[in-house]
Amino acid sequence: MATINLPRADRSIEAFRLSPPRTDFALSGRPFTRIALSAGHVVADPLADVDPWLTAAVDWDRTIAFREYVWSLGLGMAEAMDTAQRGMGLDWPMALELIRRSVAASKAHKGAVVFSGAGTDHLDPANARSIDDVIRAYEEQFEAIEGLGGRIIFMASRALAKIAKSPDDYGKVYDRILRQAKEPVIIHWLGDMFDPALAGYWGAKDLDAAMDTAVDVINRNAAKVDGVKISLLDKDKEIAMRRRLAKGVKMYTGDDFNYAELIEGDDKGFSHALLGIFDAIAPAAAAALDALAQGNNARFNDILAPTVPLSRHIFKAPTRFYKTGVVFMAYLNGHQDHFTMVGGQESTRSTVHLAELFRLADKAGLLTDPERAARRMQTVMAQHGVGG
């Protein structure tokens, strides 16, 4: 196997020898017993003559090809979410174009599932003057996505977090929008570790008080709620909320630190999955879910447990920069031919961070072609001053 030079945190350089990839990710074709949605990244167009900090340029062919790959593994797609750099390079018009293309492409794949993010990101929080402004913004995006035949993920709103004066304001907005939804939606509670502008969401900084409001809103609108994705990186909070949801309302884990045990569950229930890390570990995720569907919990954990250290590294604080690690994995595994991101976000993680990511991906058996991954890693390291 290949050997490459990688930096350590102490500034020394090690000769790192790659391991063989795992070859046991074959699928039986058995239906999964958990719903699994991967939040998908977008592939930037590195040759577009634009200013990346100001204008998004997307390689649509490679972006949709990645979605087709995810569907081929039996996973669903959570479209135009945080992982797609929504609000960090991808604006609402570009998000809607992404949704349009993804929903259209899904029609050619039997059983392909797409849920798409509807928020208020076209409304500048500084320009929001009232709760009605937030409601109108949500209505606009819901109408646009439903007009394309899309299912909806009800995203958190920066404008609502800014303008709301009490938990009742959240109730007013969510009640109004959910009443109008054509089909049941997934509600996304995104923590401020992912987006600092969402601090105090649901009208309280205390998470238990915020959860009381969220559960009340969800349960009184249960007929219009498919489930809730909670992204707080706190397994105990997720389990507590999961046990309080009305019958028929699913919990979708958004915990990229503890997803394996939350998906496996306990004697009182389990979580489905809507995860950004599934973008980076899709073959392992699908194989683990296949094992779980066969009742082979030991194999489920054998496959998925080694991916958790990688995920915790990718999602380490500042968590909002996790997209860089997700795209880097796509580059290493050949889903795109460059390490360039919308908004120039490839610069948000250090050389040492990328080196450790590479080690952890290798240890988990997630580098599908180690020789190719080594060549690409060596190129990136050389650009950062690490000789090969």
Q: Using one digit for the tens of pLDDT, what is the confidence trace for 253-287?
A: 999 999 999 999 999 999 999 999 999 999 999 99
| Cα–Cα distance, 368 to 377 (Å, whole number) | 14
Quick one: how far is CA 202 from the chain centroid?
21
Is 298 a domain residue? yes
Hey, is 54 helix, strand or coil? coil
- Looking at residue 21, its pLDDT comes to 87
Determine phi and psi for 365, rounding to 5 degrees: 75, 25
Is 316 a domain residue? no
Q: 191 forms bridges with which residues in the sheet?
A: none
Is 178 a domain residue? yes
Q: Using one digit for the tens of pLDDT, what is the confidence trace for 229-258?
A: 999 999 999 999 999 999 999 999 999 999
Is 214 a domain residue? yes
Is 174 a domain residue? yes
Of residues 227, 283, 296, 230, the one with CA closest to residue 259? 230
- Looking at residue 388, its pLDDT comes to 58
| Cα–Cα distance, 250 to 273 (Å, whole number) | 10
Strands 185-190 and 76-79: unpaired
Low-confidence ranges of the chain (pLDDT < 70): 388
- Looking at residue 163, its pLDDT comes to 96
Q: Using one digit for the tens of pLDDT, what is the confidence trace for 362-379?
A: 999 999 999 999 999 999
Query: DSSP per residue over 92-117, as a string?
Result: HHHHHHHHHHHHHHHTTSTT--EEEE
Q: What pTM, to 2 d.p., does this model score?
A: 0.96
Strands 250-253 and 225-231: parallel
What is the helix (H) or strand (E) element at residue 4, kind and residue range?
strand 3-7
| Cα–Cα distance, 108 to 106 (Å, whole number) | 5
Q: Which domain holds residue 301?
A: 34-307
Domain count, the chain: 1
Q: Name 165's Cβ contacts closer than 8 Å, sequence gap at least 6.
A: none
Is 38 a domain residue? yes
CATH of the domain at 65: 3.20.20.70
Is 369 a domain residue? no
Is 180 a domain residue? yes
